[in-house]
Amino acid sequence: MPSDASPPKKRLLIRTWGCQMNVYDSARMADVLAPLGYAPTELPEEADMVILNTCHIREKASEKVFSDLGRLRGVKEEKAARGERMILAVAGCVAQAEGAEITARAPYVDIVLGPQTYHRLPEMVARVSRAAGAVIETDFPAEDKFDHLPETAAPSGPIAFLTVQEGCDKFCSFCVVPYTRGAEFSRPAAQVLAEARRLVAGGAREIALLGQNVNAYHGAGPDGREWGLGWLLREVAAIPGLARLRYTTSHPRDMDEDLIAAHGELPQLMPFLHLPVQSGSDRMLQAMNRGHKAADFHRVVEKLRAARPDIALSSDFIAGHPGESDADHAATLALIREVGFAQAFSFKYSARPGTPAAGAGPQVPEAVKDARLAEIQALLRDQQEAFNRSRAGAVMEVLCTGPARHPGQMAGRSPWLQPVHFDGPAQLAGQIVPVRITAGHPNSLAAEWLGGAAKAPPSHQEIRAA
């Protein structure tokens, strides 16, 4: 009898921390391993391979990884006692920054790989299977990993992520990204467009373009010219069937006039932008090496609101960066009040080894950082709740993402990225439908479905013709 050439089924568990780029990377690692027979599981006990895709941004990131590794060690040893093998891998930014420490503290880890090397996973798995000892791949390879990845698998829902840019050249004093992700690199526009078309063909209605510094995108265009993010957005928006478009994360220094103009031109480009400012104090912005002043941020916001009056903003804030005074903190609160944010993320400064701020002084006492963070978060919470409540009575289009927690209820996303809940049939999943907002809550919106589906936005060609 002829043998079945397909590989035997194995189970893969990927746990992902951090940003949306890590979510994208995890999906691509699953794509890379699928030809080896790996299918997803959520249970460590079932897994033949577990990958922890890590993030180095949050406080005590590495300790959380080692804590999870300790739990997985027990599962791995139990499987070994039954004669079963579990390959345990640590990927992402913690792996890139602390690969040697991981293998020293957790010698039972089989693979340590950085964000630029996951296209080599099949080779790493083969090497682990052939010999004992850990495989460490944390270099920055000369080849473009995107050239070695398989075509994107169909998305699991109506929202898809697409990495278009990696790395950062800004070297903010508090940030490890330039050290863990490397220098800025932009994918060729044709490669991005081909992947976007595959995502739409697979059912994606909304695509978010991702990058550590996405608006620094400067990829080679098929016309031989260098494209900025504004032009790339225009071409992605022209893909038939794509209804919504977003991008994240941005730097105020890279919000050029063409990109701002795209916000006024493209109905597919949602009226919500995450634009981290970190501080409202010019003295702190200089200490952070941000390369802009508070007034520069205000000017960008004014231009964005002139181009797209309904745009809402999100941002990042750090409380207690080394050297921050009471006056610096007050300047941050003033900027928040003056600009107004629909959402925001705020964090207490936490030193990252190897970054300039880690050795800078004076360090702000923990109690002071805690108090300042509480003030920032209270103000941001008030603004977010006020923005959500201001939506009450509005009719808007919501992208249905699937059933909500309660029977007969659907969940979706507003154009401003707010979670929306309303009564409706499960068949609405993946559709964009009109709803009327009945109430705004601190973290979500309640709505009633108005029946039917929303009209598709005009194409880029239609916009150009107009």
Of the candidates 86, 66, 91, 89, the residue with the CA atom closest to the CA atom of residue 75: 86
Contacts of 126 (CB under 8 A, 6+ apart): none
Of the candidates 445, 391, 397, 396, the residue with the CA atom closest to the CA atom of residue 422: 445
172 labeled binding residue: yes
Q: Do the bridges between strand 419-423 and strand 409-413 make them parallel or antiparallel, or are there none, so unpaired?
A: antiparallel
CB atoms within 10 A of CB 454: 16
Residue 67 CA to its chain's centroid (Å): 24
19 labeled binding residue: yes
Distance CA 155, CA 203 (A): 7
Assess whether the previous peptide bond of 178 is cis (omega < 30° from 0): no
Using an 8 Å Cβ cutoff, are 400 and 158 in contact? yes
- Cα-based distances in Å from 306 to 216, 260, 298, 339, 386: 22, 9, 12, 14, 22
Q: Which letter does DSSP use for residue 2 in this model?
A: P
Q: Do the bridges between strand 419-423 and strand 432-440 make them parallel or antiparallel, or are there none, so unpaired?
A: unpaired
**What does residue 380 show for φ and ψ, rounded to 5 degrees?**
-65, -40
Cβ-based burial of 73 (10 A; exposed 0-12, middle 13-18, buried ≥19): middle
93 labeled binding residue: yes
Helix or strand run (H / E) with residue 193 = helix 189-201
What residue type is assigned to position 194 of the chain? A
Instruction: For the chain, state the CA radius of gyration.
Output: 23
Using an 8 Å Cβ cutoff, are 402 and 358 in contact? no
Using an 8 Å Cβ cutoff, are 376 and 333 in contact? yes
> CA dihedral defined by 431, 435, 440, 441, rounded to 10 degrees?
-40
400 labeled binding residue: no
Which residues are part of a known binding site for [4Fe-4S] cluster?
19, 55, 93, 168, 172, 175
Annotated binding site, which residues?
A: 19, 55, 93, 168, 172, 175
